[in-house]
Structure 1
Amino acid sequence: MFFFKKKLTPINELFPNSFVDIHSHLLPGIDDGAKTLEDSIFLIKKMKSFGIKNIITTPHILGTFWPNTPEIINDKLALVKNELLNQHITDVNLSAAAEYMLDERFMKLLYEKKLLTIKDNYVLIELSYVNPPENIFDLIFEIQTNGYIPILAHPERYIFYHYNFKNYKKLKDLGCYFQLNLLSLTEYYGREVYSTAIQLLKNNLIDFAGTDTHNDIHLKKLKELGTAKNVKLLKPLLLKNNLFNNFN
Structure 2
Amino acid sequence: MFSIFKKKVFLVDLIDGITDFHNHILPGIDDGAKTVEESIELIEGFKNIGIHDFVATPHVMNDYYPNTSETIKKSYNKLKSNISDSVSLEFSAEYMMDHHFVEIIDNNQILPISGNRVLVEMSYFQQPLNLNEILFKLQNNSYSPILAHPERYSYYHSKKLNKYTEIKSRGCDFQLNMLSLSGHYGTGIQKTAYQLLENNMIDFISSDAHRIDHIEKIKNIQIRKKHLSIIRSIIENNKNLFN
Q: TM-score, normalised by structure 1?
A: 0.90
Name 1:15's counterpart in structure 2.
15
Q: 1:139 offset after TM fit, Å?
A: 2.2
Answer yes or no: is 1:36 the counterpart of 2:35.
Answer: yes
Name 2:3's counterpart in structure 1.
none
1:8–1:225 CA contact under 8 A, matched in 2: no
Answer yes or no: is 1:195 the counterpart of 2:194.
Answer: no
Give the SS at the match of 1:123: strand
Q: 1:8 offset after TM fit, Å?
A: 4.0
Question: Residues 7 and 217 (structure 1 numbering): CA distance in 2 closer, same or farther, change over 3 Å?
Answer: farther
Between the two proteins, the alignment pairs up a number of residues equal to 237
1:168-210 per-residue CA deviation (whole Å, 9 max, x = no partner) reads 1111111111100011001211111111111111111111111
Name 2:178's counterpart in structure 1.
182
Unaligned ranges ≥5, structure 2:
1-5
Question: Residues 204 and 188 (structure 1 numbering): CA distance in 2 closer, same or farther, change over 3 Å?
Answer: same
1:180–1:210 CA contact under 8 A, matched in 2: yes
1:63–1:104 CA contact under 8 A, matched in 2: no
Question: Residues 157 and 148 (structure 1 numbering): CA distance in 2 closer, same or farther, change over 3 Å?
Answer: same
Name 1:138's counterpart in structure 2.
133
RMSD: 1.8
Q: Work out which of the residue numbers 196, 202, 210 in structure 1 matches 2:206.
A: 210
Answer yes or no: is 1:113 the counterpart of 2:105.
Answer: no
Answer yes or no: is 1:58 the counterpart of 2:54.
Answer: no
1:100-143 per-residue CA deviation (whole Å, 9 max, x = no partner) reads 00112111011111111101111100000001113323321221
Give the SS at the match of 2:81: helix
1:54–1:245 CA contact under 8 A, matched in 2: no
1:124-166 per-residue CA deviation (whole Å, 9 max, x = no partner) reads 0000000111332332122111221111000000000002621
Give the SS at the match of 2:176: strand
Q: 1:64 offset after TM fit, Å?
A: 3.2
Whole-Å separation in 2 of the counterparts to 1:64 and 1:130: 15
1:12–1:49 CA contact under 8 A, matched in 2: no
Q: 1:11 offset after TM fit, Å?
A: 5.3
Whole-Å separation in 2 of the counterparts to 1:149 and 1:128: 20
Whole-Å separation in 2 of the counterparts to 1:156 and 1:47: 23
Name 1:228's counterpart in structure 2.
224
Aligned partner of 1:166: which letter? Answer: N
Q: Percent identity?
A: 41
Name 1:3's counterpart in structure 2.
none
Name 2:97's counterpart in structure 1.
102
2:10–2:223 CA contact under 8 A, matched in 1: no
Q: 1:217 offset after TM fit, Å?
A: 1.6
2:72–2:91 CA contact under 8 A, matched in 1: yes
Aligned partner of 2:105: which letter? Answer: L
1:54-106 per-residue CA deviation (whole Å, 9 max, x = no partner) reads 11110000013101111111111111111013xxxx32211110000011211
Aligned partner of 1:22: which letter? Answer: F
Give the SS at the match of 1:116: coil
Unaligned ranges ≥5, structure 1:
1-5
1:189-248 per-residue CA deviation (whole Å, 9 max, x = no partner) reads 1111111111111111111111000001211111122333454431111111013326xx
Aligned partner of 1:116: which letter? Answer: L
Question: Residues 82 and 244 (structure 1 numbering): CA distance in 2 closer, same or farther, change over 3 Å?
Answer: farther
Answer yes or no: is 1:70 the counterpart of 2:69.
Answer: yes
Q: TM-score, normalised by structure 2?
A: 0.92
Aligned partner of 2:163: which letter? Answer: N
Whole-Å separation in 2 of the counterparts to 1:228 and 1:171: 28
Whole-Å separation in 2 of the counterparts to 1:10 and 1:208: 17
Whole-Å separation in 2 of the counterparts to 1:91 and 1:27: 17
Give the SS at the match of 1:84: coil
Give the SS at the match of 2:171: coil
